[in-house]
């Protein structure tokens, strides 16, 4: 593909162009808005109708949404998820007893206790997108909103400029469709919103080709609605049928099964007693149902469909179909005819499965049908200039509530890296870690879904029965679910050694793959820092440590000097740190532009292990409580990790992190909350911290922040986006 040459077309520049405004694209946009990087986000849809109606928010996603506002920062719309979503407390299993009667066969906590301060909630995807859009406006000072309907037509990378960090190396031709009325996918049923879109896959390429052909060949073409956007980076968050992915020539790997499921969002009228719990229901031989209670009175049902019309032309003869999905042969039975799937058909299947309980529906909100399959993209970027994320990288069955979550986490990983590179704070190299970190997660996800969806779709084994030779053992199924919930929570994602993660000071990985640090024996390096309470030295308020590590683009160096009263030598060490950290050639100053506040890039926080009543703030060196150019003191860099609280019980972050109160430790946390490195508490440890940043940060000596200036006269400075450039 080449860029258009018609001289009448307008040209513009932006650092990052995001194509696709679903949760994945919106998360990237939120990061860039928060960090103050110039960007645009376009979507071909003219409104918020969306093809996927996800609803589950996992623990890690809730942690991340919260991290954009913390506990003291301005309230953002993203805080609403935890409040408004339906909290999932318990999962109930139902399966046939010895007589084939449906009985409750088990109960497990829906979220593993202690894994996070949040539990899974369920809330309509439409709310989440709305909250993201509000947050983007909030963080960008109303400068950025989703531009729609905008269609991308052409993308080209100037490969010779790809290594030049400041180059606008990518060109994208886009068309403003607002005058065209082309953008609405047709729906099968006008009466009820549904997910059965008539995809114009086959005609799509021709359609795009025609649009740009006219532009090039017709001297009288109307060029007004076209624009060439020159960007440093492009992100394709444009869904399972990603246009960007196709432009990069990447094919998905994966397979489609013969299992077909329907989905209903409605208010059930039923005497089934667990309808407000998440349930897995295996009937004797009518298939399975999954129940997901939602906000208000809605319940989502995933229902296995027994008899569905299929397209014989898409049938393959292979015993189990595996391979390229562009091959039109879908499975041994053939692709389903989605136009035959109606709410009534789906309900009928549910009624069979849930017998003898009654089930009728009212207030139907949405329905769809799908054939289970798992696909993953083997590559997530091209030349570290064009990236894909979310459904463009991985698709699977929706029942585990993973799709939207993993899609948001893709760009939560990429967003801060793009921001650091666009600002000239970090080297281009860090962008390579996006694929290396997220491709592994996508493959784990596919394997997880592959296993779980087959157990869910299989017939159950009848207890104490020898007549059924095959079948899914329900005890095994419950155990798989419990284990699966750990993965599904999103909290055990583990990033490997890379330019951004240094596992050198760790034990051999344990059976769960956790590489615990020598110096903080309960902190696995490469995973998100689990939160604990710490107490501000200045006012004694208990804070979740993660609320002090907000998603604002900064790295954090957490210094744990131990108990400075019981071990006065630890305080001496801390005093030595003061000079080290003030030195121009050490990390704290070296990577910070001269006109930025001192903790704008790397925020150093000290958490001691002495009861805060036994020490005074002025016992500690200046760097733990510095003053700014006006003499205003920053009181929020010094904490006690231990002690009683008046309202929240006893606190011991040292115990929780496995840090010795005599030896101490230093922990580096990435802007996305993952532990980069743990090292020892001494000057050598500080050198190690410096070496870590040396690998990818760009010295800023003499550099000033280029575009937006930091409002240094702002008393809100400790809570406002400091990295805004």
By annotation, the residues acting in catalysis are 55, 294, 302, 398
Nearer to a copy of itself by Cβ, of 51 and 719: the residue is: 719
Between residues 76 and 570, which has the closer beta carbon with respect to a copy of itself?
76
CB of 478 to a copy of itself, least distance (A): 16
Nearest of 92, 74, 21, 99 to residue 465 by alpha carbon: 99
> Which is nearer to a copy of itself, 80 or 332 (by Cβ)?
80
Tokens coding 358? 């009654």
Handedness of CA 636, 637, 638, 639 (dihedral sign): positive
Q: Which is nearer to a copy of itself, 86 or 505 (CB)?
A: 86
Q: How far is the CB of 659 from a copy of itself (least distance, A)?
A: 24
* Min dist. Cβ of residue 113 to a copy of itself (A): 5
Strand partners, 57: 121
Q: Shortest approach of a copy of itself to residue 193 CB, angstroms?
A: 15
**Residue 79: which region, alpha, beta or left (left: phi > 0; alpha: psi -120 to 50)?**
alpha
Decide: 9 and 223 in contact? Cβ < 8 Å: yes
Indicate the pairing of strand 299-304 with strand 288-293. Answer: antiparallel
Q: Which two tokens stand for residue 103?
A: 């009985």
Nearer to a copy of itself among residue 227 and residue 486 (C-beta): 486
C-alpha distances in Å from residue 459, one per residue of 103, 303, 471, 563: 15, 14, 5, 59
Reduced to 3 states (helix: H, G, I; strand: E, B; else coil), residue 252 is coil
| Residue environment code for 624-636, b if the CB has 16+ CB neighbours within 10 A, otherwise e | bbbeeeeeeebeb
Query: In terms of residues, how long is the chain?
Result: 725
Query: What is the rounded CA–CA span in Å between residue 52 and residue 478?
Result: 28
Residue closer to a copy of itself (CB basis): 306 or 479: 479
3-state secondary structure of 619: helix
CA distance 40 to 663: 48
Q: How far is the first Cα of the chain from the last one, in angstroms, to the nearest whole number? A: 34
Which residues of this protein are in contact with a copy of itself, per CB under 8 A?
71-72, 74-75, 79-80, 83-84, 87, 89-90, 107, 109, 111, 113, 119, 267, 269, 271, 273, 275-277, 293, 296-298, 360, 362-363, 536, 538-542, 613, 616-618, 627, 630-633, 635, 646-647, 715-716, 718-719
What phi and psi values does residue 448 have, to the nearest 5 degrees?
A: -60, -50
DSSP for residue 485: H
CB of 272 to a copy of itself, least distance (A): 10
> At closest approach, how far in Å is the CB of 139 from a copy of itself?
17
Please say which residue, 273 or 378, places its beta carbon nearer to a copy of itself: 273
Shortest distance, position 133 Cβ to a copy of itself, whole Å: 16
Helix ranges (H only) for 228-271 are 243-247
Separation between Cα atoms, residue 135 and residue 26, nearest integer Å: 10
Dihedrals φ, ψ of 318, to 5°? -65, 145
């Amino acid at each position: 593909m080449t860029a258009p040459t018609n001289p009448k077309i307008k040209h513009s520049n932006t650092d990052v162009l995001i194509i696709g405004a679903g949760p994945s694209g919106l998360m990237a946009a939120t990061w860039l808005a928060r960090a103050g990087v110039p960007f645009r986000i376009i979507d071909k849809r003219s409104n918020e109708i969306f093809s996927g109606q996800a609803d589950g928010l996992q623990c890690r996603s809730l942690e991340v949404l919260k991290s954009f506002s913390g506990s003291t920062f301005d309230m953002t719309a993203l805080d609403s998820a935890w409040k408004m979503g339906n909290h999932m407390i318990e999962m109930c299993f139902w399966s046939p007893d010895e007589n084939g009667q449906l009985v409750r066969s088990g109960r497990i906590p829906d979220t593993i206790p202690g894994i996070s301060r949040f539990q899974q909630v369920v809330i309509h995807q439409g709310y989440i997108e709305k909250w993201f859009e509000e947050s983007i406006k909030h963080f960008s000072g109303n400068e950025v909103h989703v531009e729609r309907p905008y269609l991308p037509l052409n993308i080209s990378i100037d490969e010779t400029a790809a290594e030049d960090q400041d180059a606008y190396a990518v060109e994208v031709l886009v068309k403003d469709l607002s005058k065209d009325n082309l953008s609405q996918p047709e729906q099968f049923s006008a009466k009820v919103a549904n997910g059965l879109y008539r995809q114009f896959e086959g005609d799509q390429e021709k359609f795009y080709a025609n649009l740009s052909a006219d532009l090039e060949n017709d001297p009288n073409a109307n060029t007004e609605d076209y624009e060439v956007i020159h960007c440093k980076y492009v992100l394709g968050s444009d869904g399972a049928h990603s246009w960007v992915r196709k432009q990069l020539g990447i094919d998905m790997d994966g397979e489609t099964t013969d299992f077909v499921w329907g989905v209903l969002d409605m208010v059930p009228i039923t005497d089934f007693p667990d309808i407000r719990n998440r349930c897995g229901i295996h009937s004797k031989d009518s298939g399975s149902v999954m129940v997901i209670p939602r906000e208000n009175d809605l319940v989502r049902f995933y229902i296995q469909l027994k008899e569905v019309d299929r397209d014989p032309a898409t049938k393959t003869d292979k015993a189990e179909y595996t391979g390229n999905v562009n091959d039109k042969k879908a499975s041994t039975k053939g692709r389903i005819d989605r136009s035959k799937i109606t709410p009534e058909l789906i309900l009928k299947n549910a009624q069979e499965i849930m017998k003898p309980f009654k089930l009728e529906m009212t207030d139907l909100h949405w329905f769809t049908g799908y054939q289970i399959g798992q696909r993953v993209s083997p590559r997530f970027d091209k030349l570290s200039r064009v990236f894909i994320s979310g459904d463009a990288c991985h698709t699977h069955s929706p029942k585990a509530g993973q799709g939207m979550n993993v899609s948001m986490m893709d760009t939560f990983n990429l967003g801060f890296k793009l921001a650091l590179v666009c600002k000239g704070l970090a080297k281009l190299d860090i962008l390579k870690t996006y694929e290396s970190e997220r491709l592994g997660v996508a493959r784990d996800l596919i394997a997880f879904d592959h296993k779980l969806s087959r157990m869910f779709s299989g017939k159950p084994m009848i207890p104490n029965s020898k007549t059924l030779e095959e079948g899914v053992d329900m005890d095994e199924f419950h155990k798989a679910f419990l284990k699966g919930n750990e993965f599904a929570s999103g909290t055990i994602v583990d990033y490997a050694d890379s330019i951004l993660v240094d596992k050198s000071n760790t034990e051999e990985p344990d059976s769960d793959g956790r590489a615990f640090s020598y110096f903080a024996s309960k902190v696995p390096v490469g995973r998100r820092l689990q939160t604990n309470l710490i107490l501000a030295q200045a006012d004694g308020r208990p804070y979740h440590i993660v609320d002090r590590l907000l998603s604002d683009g900064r790295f954090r160096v957490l210094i744990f000097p131990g108990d400075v009263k019981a071990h006065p030598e630890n305080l001496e060490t801390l005093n030595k740190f003061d000079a080290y950290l003030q030195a121009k050639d050490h990390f704290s100053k070296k990577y910070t532009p001269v006109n930025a506040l001192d903790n704008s890039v790397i925020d150093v926080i000290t958490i001691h292990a002495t009861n805060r009543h036994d020490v005074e703030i002025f016992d500690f060196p200046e760097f733990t409580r510095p003053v700014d150019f006006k003499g205003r003191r920053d009181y929020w860099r010094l904490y006690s990790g231990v002690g009683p609280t008046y309202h929240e019980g006893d606190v011991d972050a040292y115990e929780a992190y496995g840090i010795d109160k005599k030896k101490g430790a230093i922990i580096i946390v990435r802007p996305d909350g993952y532990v980069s490195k743990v090292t020892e508490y001494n000057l050598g440890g500080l050198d190690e911290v410096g070496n870590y940043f040396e690998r990818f940060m760009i010295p800023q000596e003499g550099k000033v922040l280029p575009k937006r200036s930091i409002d240094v006269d702002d008393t809100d400075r400790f809570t406002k986006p400091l990295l805004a450039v």
